[in-house]
Amino acid sequence: MLGDRTLLHWLIHQMRVPTLAAAAGSAFLELYPEAHEDGQLFSVETSLLGQAFADHFDDDPPFLPVADKVKDWAKERKLLD
């Protein structure tokens, strides 16, 4: 699994689960360090993260990946179909 960039689709799916999002985001940044430069891929805004995150973190989530933005970022770079 280490260094396996083919896991991106699976990681994005995990980013949609509040309990897994932080780990998925960390793994994503390990695989794609260039993503650190894009300040729009992570957020604390529940309006971007979704209601499940608001409920899970009592409207105060940590800095987490925004799955839809990560997916768009990956598609722009032709990393996903």
The pLDDT, as a whole number, for residue 61 is 95
Q: Is the residue at 81 inside a domain?
A: no
Question: Are the beta carbons of 9 and 80 closer than 8 angstroms?
Answer: yes
Domain count across the chain: 1
The pLDDT, as a whole number, for residue 2 is 60
pLDDT in tens, the chain (81 residues): 566 778 999 999 999 999 999 999 999 999 999 999 999 999 999 999 999 999 999 989 999 999 999 999 999 999 997
Residue ranges making up the domain that contains 37 = 5-76
Q: Maximum CA pair distance of the chain? A: 36
H or E element at residue 42: strand 42-43
Q: Is the residue at 10 inside a domain?
A: yes
